[in-house]
Structure 1
Amino acid sequence: MDAILPVLLFVLIAAAVSVGLIILPMLVAPRRRGAVKEMPYESGMDPIHDTRRRFDVRFHLVAITFLVFDVELLFLYPWAVASRSAAGIDAAVAEGAIASRELAFFGGLVFILLVVVGFAYDWRKGVFRWR
């Protein structure tokens, strides 16, 4: 119980701070809305278009593609670090998490192949073509 007490205290303090940071602006913020308040900030200039105008789908496709590849490469980083040090792989083998170094290596290659196939699919669909 002594070992878990600091962790429990940390979680409780983090939860209290999070809830406080969400609720405090609701209590302190002014409630009035107006035309100036609704106006978007564009480098100090008056806005050119309506603030609720639609964006082209291409922007969303590029943003989603970026997020997918960013998350995939984020998962690739621990694999690269673990495979670089033999101690990381040997410790995982000793624990029974993976069968061998080759399995980890080919698993990473399959993951990289999926990233490349996803990029090729997006390229083929014309996500990166601006017409």
Structure 2
Amino acid sequence: MLRPYIPVLILLVLSVAQAIGMVVLSQVLSPGRATKSKSSPYESGMTPLGNTRERFSVKFYVVAILFIVFDVETVFLLPWAVQARALGWGGFAVVGIFVFILTVGLIYEWKKGALEWD
């Protein structure tokens, strides 16, 4: 009864073993000499300039959210484009409403100045 699940169990065991093996190998093979630049919390090892708690403008986050929204729109439109003929006019109407709502949102954000980087 459990015979069909044996490949899944094997895959699970191999995945866990690979993850554990990669962690162990990275600890064993990595050089352990800590230097001042390696211990620094910055990527390039340069001394930081200014305050590290600097606040970002809200517009930065608004643009990031807008990017995600329109990226997700693309994810929804690609499967529709593949099956457009099979879905017919009903599918076209639904996607048209979807795109219209997103276009109205984009125009609103544009008029509010959310895309301006002054």
Distance 2:51 2:99 in 1: 43
Q: 1:104 aligns with which of 91, 106, 118?
A: 91
Match of 1:95?
A: none
Q: 1:107 to 1:18 in 2, by over 3 A?
A: farther
Which residues of structure 2 form unaligned runs of 5+? none
Q: Give yes or no for the alignment of 1:16 onto 2:16.
A: yes
Which structure 1 residue ranges, 5 or more long, are not aligned?
90-99
Give the counterpart letter for 1:117 in structure 2: V
Question: How many residue pairs are counted as aligned between the two chains?
Answer: 111
Residues 1-131 of structure 1 correspond to what in structure 2 (within 5 A)? 5-7=6-8, 9-10=10-11, 12-13=12-13, 16=16, 20=20, 24=23, 28=27, 37-42=39-44, 45-83=46-84, 86=85, 89=86, 101-131=88-118
Secondary structure in 1 matching 2:73: helix
Normalising by structure 2, report the TM-score: 0.67
Shift in CA distance, 122/17, structure 1 to aligned 2, threshold 3 Å: farther
Q: Which runs of 4+ in 1 moved over 6 A?
A: none
Whole-angstrom CA distance in 2 between matches of 1:102 and 1:117: 22
Q: How big is the alpha-carbon RMSD for the aligned residues of Structure 1 and Structure 2?
A: 3.5
